Chains A and B, each alone.
Chain A
């Protein structure tokens, strides 16, 4: 299958790969997907006192489109408030990367990942 140039770019030069320390307080982590399905995304956000995402990291086990979707997401969420990040839609990701129909689930997974990361951050902040 032919991938778009943007998918290939993100795949070959993934942005913001890595993990934050486990005990960093202002970090939210979202882990979505399942190895059995062939993709697992881990997305982490670091949120400052103004509620703005100042940094993001990802690791993804999955196909090129899954890796590109999560890499793109880390670029997009930086500098956004939690509400703004929450508003990112899978269709925006799919459109930006020109994902074919069989790969739409990768963008859905990326949307799930940012929501899971935000929710994890909020749970921690509430405690």
Chain B
């Protein structure tokens, strides 16, 4: 019998791997490495410093970077803020134009909005309907005063993988800095910063079986990228991010990245098999739409719209499944997912979307239970749906005069 509820929201966060938790617990009490890594005058500090150095190496190893290029932060949101504001502020005499995409995470979009309030100019590109950036359109958006392009590697909602190698070629040839939010891709897609022409990259601990509250920013050294610090204090992290290093969090993130590096290939194959099992059993349902490109997609993500069924009620029907919906009936605005809207999905399909994200501890039994539960719920909710009834009666819903409220 499968244990309920089933967790299928790995893109939101992941449980800490037990191996990671063990390493973390060894950095807290008197029996462990509790010292301040910045303490230079005794062994407590030296040991903590060593633990941090090892973790920095482990994070760097996963993405083939130099440990000196890794700056610890509190998470990917802070990394995005530090990268974008840091570059914008440092290079503002060179130019004040930034390019990003409408499907970026709010940590990027809201940071750009803040820079607009400070007088910077931001272009928000539309992705193609499959979620990917068109390189020609990106090139056409670049200007002489463009200083930064910020494009995420893997999208958190639809899981599509951007061609950051090609984007990097484009930005480097134009002398523009390139920031990549890799919160959803590290440990899931191979990343080689030695060859990629990426200048800044954001990482998160808790998306890859590490703890919450820790992240990192890759700041390239050759060619050297400068950023203006956003957090001032003791001059930690070579002045780029002050604040006492959280040894246990850092050690946890390091171990999580080490495990990802060793097990990624095998794990991806297993997760992809589960994802295919799920999609192959859902795609024959009438009026079902996959959101985002299937081929250029991270293994664990499946984002599907079940037309004529509202997402939040579907989440309620799937009460034994932990999944996310692109419908936002709870918010004051009633606006559905901005990512799906940017992909050109109409409001109905955006309101009808469910994101399943599969991970390390997902099993085939869980997927089979999910398939059964989804198929039953869709049937039940469509029986309840006036839109489904109209669709079945051959009425074109776009021709109806709806009273928006």
Seen from chain A, the residues whose Cβ lies within 8 Å of a Cβ on chain B are 1, 3, 11, 14, 17, 19, 31-42, 59-64, 66-67, 102-103, 105, 108-109, 112
Contacts and interface: CB of A to CB of B under 8 A. Distances in A.
A61 B405 contact: no
B312 A67 contact: no
A63 B404 contact: no
B386 A38 contact: no
B334 A37 contact: yes
Interface residues of B, number: 31
Nearest to A34: B402
A11 B316 CA distance: 9
A35 B383 CA distance: 16
Contacts of B311: 38
18 contacts: A33-B405, A34-B404, A35-B347, A35-B351, A36-B347, A36-B404, A38-B310, A38-B334, A38-B347, A39-B329, A40-B387, A59-B385, A61-B386, A63-B313, A64-B312, A64-B316, A66-B313, A102-B332
Secondary structure call for the A interface = mixed
Q: Please name the 3 residue pairs, one residue from A and one from B, whose CB atoms are nearest each other, closest first.
A: A34-B402, A36-B347, A42-B386
B73 to A, nearest CB: 31
Contacts of B404: 34, 36-37
Interface string B333-349: 01010000000001110
Secondary structure call for the B interface = loop
A60 B385 contact: yes
Nearest to A35: B348
Contacts of A105: 334, 405
A105 B334 CA distance: 10
B397 interface: yes
Contacts of B388: 61
Nearest to B401: A34
Nearest to A100: B330
Interface string B358-392: 00000000000000000000000001111111000
B312 A38 contact: yes
B308 interface: yes
Contacts of A59: 384-386, 389
A35 B305 CA distance: 14
A61 B310 contact: yes
